[in-house]
Amino acid sequence: MRLALGLAEQGRGSVEPNPMVGCVIVRDNQVIGQGYHQRFGGPHAEVHALRDAGDARGATAYVTLEPCCHHGKTPPCSDALISAGVRRVVVAMADPFEQVDGGGLAQLNRAGIETRVGVLEHEARELNAAYLKRLQTGRPFTIAKWAMTVDGRIATSTGQSQWISSEASRADVHALRGRVDAIAVGMGTVIADDPMLTARPPGVRTATRVVFCAHRLPTARSRLIQSASEVPVLLIVSPEIDASEVAKLEQLGASVYRCTSSNLVHMIHQSLDFLGSQSMTNVMIEGGGELMASFLTADAIDQYEVYVGAKVFGGRGALGPVAGDGFASVADAAALQLVRLQRLGDNDVKLVYRRMQRD
């Protein structure tokens, strides 16, 4: 099953909004076939593994997610396993998708195939946390990303920030950009940095550049708007924004989602519902401290990817990654769980945290 989970990971960024799935076929304690879901709309993991095995009669299939039992873009994997003559299917976790939800396992059992569920289930759920969140809430999984110094600054006291992190860390950020559906920033970042927010080199996905516009809009000369006909730009606008000004940017290629409130926290909630309705699975927040603070206040950050550069800036006025009013007490603070620690280059460290659910 660990091998199957590792295979499934290879589909990250290519299969969404589908889940990542891996499959390993074993007979007489030997791996005879393996595969993973490689791209959205393509054959599922079980089909790849069965093709790799050739003859899977009497074998055991280890699958990271319950085999599908419905006709979607591909035929049911449960049918493929039955037709191949496998004897046993071991599944990490059941699939809560309403068109599966135990149906695949039931079909296998009716065909006389032994099944077992729950092997490395925690790891399987962690792997597909974004898929599971979207099924449960209709919203995408949100990733807050920033680079900071060892003393927690994202810029010097004079506002300089290039570069806090190493080339290796910046390359890792671009790889992350190339796997998500959207990258979100606020107008403060657009004005200060005039960013492109694209992956370089391009990744397997082209992220929509999302800008929260509570009080103002990007100019027609901004790099985001200038490239809107080539790479999607979505403006999340409040009722304060003049409709005629919005229309001018729409004519230049920008898309617009109009919120019913000018409160940034309310805008975040409405926009996440909208992005989920557009089949987006992962959204990365690259905005400045105020947007980060609003996402934190909205309790809308699922994962933190923090790059720590080997520098110390100091300075009372040097900015940190999260602004706003902050939490008044330690007990109220967002509680996180470290899920990965990675060294990048010679001296940088990447920390990946997931938020812990409150009781």
Is the distance from CB of 135 to CB of 93 less than 8 angstroms? no
What is the C-alpha to C-alpha distance for residues 81 and 110, in angstroms, rounded to an integer?
13
Neighbours of 294 (CB within 10 A): 24
**Pair type for strands 208-213 and 114-117:** unpaired
How many CA atoms, within 13 angstroms, populate the side-chain half-sphere of residue 224?
29
CA distance 40 to 218: 33
193 CB-contact burial (10 Å; exposed 0-12 / middle 13-18 / buried 19+): middle
46 included as an active-site residue: yes
CA atoms of 69 and 89, how far apart (whole Å): 14
Q: Are 55 and 26 in contact (CB under 8 A)?
A: no
Round to whole Å and give the CA distance between 186 and 214: 9
In the set 9, 16, 46, 286, the catalytic residue is 46
* Residues catalogued as catalytic: 46
